[in-house]
Amino acid sequence: MGKMRSVSVIGVGLSKFGERWDASFRQLVAEAGVRAISDSQIDGKDIQAVYGGCMASGRFIGQEHIGALIVDQLGLNPIPSTRLEAACASGSVAFRNAYLAIASGMHDVVAVGGVEKMTEVSVEDAATALGGAGDQEWELFIGATFPALYALIARRHMQEYGTTEEQMALCAVKNHDNGSKNPYAQYQNKITLETVMNSGVIASPLKLFDCSPITDGAAVTILCETEKAKKLVEQPIEIAASAQASDTLALAERKSLTELQATKIAAKQAFETANLKPKDIQVAEVHDCFTIAEILAVEDLGFFEKGKAGKAIEAGETKLNSAISINTSGGLKACGHPVGATGVKQVVEAVWQLRGQAEGRQVKNVERALTHNVGGSGATATVHIFKRA
């Protein structure tokens, strides 16, 4: 490994997340993109490349070549524009490669977007498209849906560690609490434990309110080499670490169902690179595609011992301004989960928290924030750590 240039975030923007019948794929990109460029105080012509994360536009809107579409829509031709895909981790993988493009010395200023327009197809077609995140030959073809895969994980976690359905449900309750304070969130309503427990069973033990929704949305960040960033904006947010790891596509091939190896490996690398420990993080956006996924995440990232997260959540230890504030944006559960956008949206929230701009959900004394994005059932995981430059 060689010496790398430091990279910082200088602008962020989100579209409103939700069922966006009023906006096309292109319009979502523009909505978030214009806000991010405006937030960065740079001119569009200063941007040297675009990276976009998108999972399944071919199935959702019949469109590939998303890099070209995004750069065209943002009026930024002829700079290079590239789409990355890693299922539900597409956004963070795009973010990571934009970071590398600057770290390499090729570019100084790069825009990274994540986008997904999911609500224009039927729920059945959406489930099929999302199934492409798992192993088509060995899982989907024989009938496993994504909730079914995570239900297997949940059952095993319950058996091994005594985790309860109520503890999982409390992740959703907390995330709706946080989402109620986020004007970009798909769901801004608080819910109770009873709401979750009484909701319909999707794949036992997971109920409707244990699952993240189908969402339209886009998120954009502007990255810049740090020394230049310091001249451009008041408070650049530095990428202290970027790590990514892989695991088997199919659950059946893994040694354990109760941890995601890819998360553990990426977290270890990220903490080493940043020379930090989990206790040094105040705010973390983690991948709660299902409530059980949040439990796995906070354990695998090292915030809680394996098997202890259920009780910690019950004790309120992941709420706003607790030991570690988890999913202040509302997470995938309440903010919504436009799959390709999620990894970038997590960065936007981390930046807002570090800048002190998270409004009603602002955590006190945030020095470092972490984002954690998972593809499929854990075949890809990324971890990024941020601090003020």
Separation CA 182–CA 117 (nearest Å)? 20
88 part of the active site: yes
Interface with its own copies in residues 73-102 (CB under 8 A): 76-87, 93, 96-97, 100-101
Interface with its own copies in residues 209-228 (CB under 8 A): 225
Q: Please report whether residue 145 would count as binding its own copies according to CB under 8 A.
A: no
Q: How many residues does the chain have?
A: 389
HEC readout, 124-156: HHHHHHHHCCCCHHHHHCCCCCHHHHHHHHHHH
CB closer to its own copies out of 19 and 72 = 72
Of 54, 88, 171, 211, which is the active-site residue?
Answer: 88
Options 69, 171, 274, 281; binder of its own copies; rule CB under 8 A: 69
Structure tokens at 229: 């960033």
Number of residues that bind its own copies (CB under 8 A): 72
DSSP 252: G
Q: Please report whether residue 347 would count as binding its own copies according to CB under 8 A.
A: no
Separation CA 112–CA 371 (nearest Å)? 15
Separation CA 276–CA 295 (nearest Å)? 22
Cβ-Cβ contacts under 8 Å for 217 (sequence gap 6 or more): 14, 15, 16, 17, 18, 20, 28, 32, 115, 116, 186, 336, 338, 341, 345
Interface with its own copies in residues 8-27 (CB under 8 A): 24, 26
| Contact between residue 350 and residue 369 where contact means Cβ atoms under 8 Å apart | yes
Q: Please report whether residue 202 would count as binding its own copies according to CB under 8 A.
A: no
The distance from CA 172 to its chain's CA centroid, rounded to whole angstroms, is 16
Phi and psi of 121, rounded to 5°? -110, 165
Q: Please report whether residue 301 would count as binding its own copies according to CB under 8 A.
A: no
Q: Please report whether residue 66 would count as binding its own copies according to CB under 8 A.
A: yes
Options 21, 22, 43, 62; binder of its own copies; rule CB under 8 A: 62
Smallest distance from the beta carbon of 113 to its own copies, in angstroms? 14
> What does DSSP say about strands 368-375 and 325-326: parallel, antiparallel, or unpaired?
unpaired
Per-residue interface string for the shown chain with its own copies, residues 95-134, x marking contact by CB under 8 A? -xx--xx-xxxxxx-------------------xx-xxxx
337 part of the active site: yes
Q: What is the DSSP string of 309-366?
A: HHHHHHTTTTSTTSSSEE-TT-HHHHH---HHHHHHHHHHHHHHHHHT--GGGPPTT-
Contact region with its own copies (CB under 8 A), list: 27-35, 247-255, 282-290, 326-334: 247-255
Contact region with its own copies (CB under 8 A), list: 63-71, 113-121, 295-303, 304-312: 63-71
Per-residue interface string for the shown chain with its own copies, residues 258-297, x marking contact by CB under 8 A? ---xx--x--------------------------------
Give, in order, the Cα–Cα distances in Å from 255 to each of 248, 261, 375.
10, 9, 18
Of 157, 337, 372, 384, which is the active-site residue?
Answer: 337
Q: Please report whether residue 204 would count as binding its own copies according to CB under 8 A.
A: no
Separation CA 282–CA 372 (nearest Å)? 14
CB closer to its own copies out of 15 and 81 = 81
CB closer to its own copies out of 5 and 308 = 5
Options 19, 44, 46, 58; binder of its own copies; rule CB under 8 A: 58
Interface with its own copies in residues 357-376 (CB under 8 A): 375-376
- Of 300, 243, 303, the closest CA to residue 273 belongs to 243
> What does DSSP say about strands 325-326 and 283-285: parallel, antiparallel, or unpaired?
parallel
Options 145, 180, 246, 322; binder of its own copies; rule CB under 8 A: 246
Interface with its own copies in residues 31-50 (CB under 8 A): 50
| Contact between residue 382 and residue 243 where contact means Cβ atoms under 8 Å apart | yes
Smallest distance from the beta carbon of 19 to its own copies, in angstroms? 20
CB closer to its own copies out of 4 and 34 = 4
Active-site residues: which are they? 88, 337
